[in-house]
C-alpha cells in the first residue's frame, strides 16, 4: 500500500466540492499549473452518469495474492484518483451535474458557448450522455433550427436592431455572437445550429471585433455587427468564404426568379394594375440585389419584398406566383446553408 502521497504542484481542497462524507478524492491540476485541486465527492455522483468513471473507481482498488482489497493510492483514508483534466473543467462538470440552469441564463455578452464548453468537454469525454444532451440543448436553444424559425428571428432581430440603433445596448440575446457557437458545434458535433450561426456570421463585419467592442462600447459599431473573428478556425473560414461566394453568384438569379412566370390567369379586374406591378417588381430587382449584397441578408430582403407585395393591388393569381417563387428561393438558401455548413449531417 502506498502511504506517502505527494502533489506537484501543492494541493488545496476545493472550497465547494470537499464534501465531508464523500467516499473518493479526485485530483486535478489548475490550468495555470500553480496548484493541484482536490475534490472529495460521492462516487455515485459520477459513476451513476458514466461507465467510464464507474470502471475508473473499480480500478482504484485491487486485490493482493491473499485476496485482500488494498487501495492503490489513498488520501486521508479514501481512494485517490488522479485526473489529467484541468481543475476548472472538473469544477464545471460537477456544477453542471448538480444544476445546469445557470448555464441556460441569457447573457448580453453572448458567452453561453464559452460557459458550456468546459462541462461539455468532460461530459463528452466520459460518455455522460444524459448531461451532454442537456448541455447541447442549452446551445441549441440559442439558435433557430428551421428555415421558418430563422426567418422569424431575422425579422425580430431587424426590428430590435432599429430600436437599439445608436444605443449602448445591442440585441445579442436575440441572435448571439456566432463564432463561439460555431467553434463549439464543430468541435462537439452539434450540426443543428450551424446553418443559422453561419447565416448570422455572413451579416457580421470583419472590421468589427467582439472583444474590442466590449471594451470601447457598442456606439463604436456604427451599425456594424461584431464577431469574435480571431477565434474563427481555418475550416470555418473556408465555409464562410464558400457561402459568400454562393451568395454573390446566386443573388442575381434569386432576385430575377422572384418575378419569373407571371400568372397567365391573372384575375385582377384591372389587368393593367398587375402588369404595372410586375414591371415594378422587375425594375426593383437591381435594388433588391444591391440590398442583399450590402446586408448579406437575403431572407430579410425577401420577407420585406413579400410584405410590400401583400399590401399592393396584385391579384391573388399573380401573388400566388410570387409566393411560390419566394418559397423556392428561401428553400434554396436554406439548403445551401445546410450543405455548406454541415455537409456530412442531415438536419
Q: List the chain domain ranges.
A: 1-86, 99-232, 241-341
Phi, psi of 212 (to 5 degrees): -65, -40
Q: State which H helix or E strand residue 180 sits in.
A: helix 178-188
Chain mean pLDDT for the chain: 84
Reduced to 3 states, what is the DSSP secondary structure of residue 40? strand
Work out the pLDDT band at 228, boundaries 50, 70, 90.
Answer: very high
Share of the chain above pLDDT 70, in %: 80
48-98 confidence digits (pLDDT tens): 999 999 998 887 665 444 444 444 788 998 999 999 999 999 999 999 999
Of 343 and 189, more confident: 189
Cβ count near 120 (within 10 Å): 28
237-291 confidence digits (pLDDT tens): 999 999 999 888 887 777 666 666 666 667 666 667 777 777 777 666 667 777 7
Cα 113 to Cα 5, 121, 128, 139, 152: the distances in Å are: 37, 11, 18, 7, 23
Reduced to 3 states, what is the DSSP secondary structure of residue 167? coil
Residue 101 has pLDDT above 90, yes or no: yes
pTM: 0.85
Residue 145 has pLDDT above 90, yes or no: yes
Amino acid at each position: 500500500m502506498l502511504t506517502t502521497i505527494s502533489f506537484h504542484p501543492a494541493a488545496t481542497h476545493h472550497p465547494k466540492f470537499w464534501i465531508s462524507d464523500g467516499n473518493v478524492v479526485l485530483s486535478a491540476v489548475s490550468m495555470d499549473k500553480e496548484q493541484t485541486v482536490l475534490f472529495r465527492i460521492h462516487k455515485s455522483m459520477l459513476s451513476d452518469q458514466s461507465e467510464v468513471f464507474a470502471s475508473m473507481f473499480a480500478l482504484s482498488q485491487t486485490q493482493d495474492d491473499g485476496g485482500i482489497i488494498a487501495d492503490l493510492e489513498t488520501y486521508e483514508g479514501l481512494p485517490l484518483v488522479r485526473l489529467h483534466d484541468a481543475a476548472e473543467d472538473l469544477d464545471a462538470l460537477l456544477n453542471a451535474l448538480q444544476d445546469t440552469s445557470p448555464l441556460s441564463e441569457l447573457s448580453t455578452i453572448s458567452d453561453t458557448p464559452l460557459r458550456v464548453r468546459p462541462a461539455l468537454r468532460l461530459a463528452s469525454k466520459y460518455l455522460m450522455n444524459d448531461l451532454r444532451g442537456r448541455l447541447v440543448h442549452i446551445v441549441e436553444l440559442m439558435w433557430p433550427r428551421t428555415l421558418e424559425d430563422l426567418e422569424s428571428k431575422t425579422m425580430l432581430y431587424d426590428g430590435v436592431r432599429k430600436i437599439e440603433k445608436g444605443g449602448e445596448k445591442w440585441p445579442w440575446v436575440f441572435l448571439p455572437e456566432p463564432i463561439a457557437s460555431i467553434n463549439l458545434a464543430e468541435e462537439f458535433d452539434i450540426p443543428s445550429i450551424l446553418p443559422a450561426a453561419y447565416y448570422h456570421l455572413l451579416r457580421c463585419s470583419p472590421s468589427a471585433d467582439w472583444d474590442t467592442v466590449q471594451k470601447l462600447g457598442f456606439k463604436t459599431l456604427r451599425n456594424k455587427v461584431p464577431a469574435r473573428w480571431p477565434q474563427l478556425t481555418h475550416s470555418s473560414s473556408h465555409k464562410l468564404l464558400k457561402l459568400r461566394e454562393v451568395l454573390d453568384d446566386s443573388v442575381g438569379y434569386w432576385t430575377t426568379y422572384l418575378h419569373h412566370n407571371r400568372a397567365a390567369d391573372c384575375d385582377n379586374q384591372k389587368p393593367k394594375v398587375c402588369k404595372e406591378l410586375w414591371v415594378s417588381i422587375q425594375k426593383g430587382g437591381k435594388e433588391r440585389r444591391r440590398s442583399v449584397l450590402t446586408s448579406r441578408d437575403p431572407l430579410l430582403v425577401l420577407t420585406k419584398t413579400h410584405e410590400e407585395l401583400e399590401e399592393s393591388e396584385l391579384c391573388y393569381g399573380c401573388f400566388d406566383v410570387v409566393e411560390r417563387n419566394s418559397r423556392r428561393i428561401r428553400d434554396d438558401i436554406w439548403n445551401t446553408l445546410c450543405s455548406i455548413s454541415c455537409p456530412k449531417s442531415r438536419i
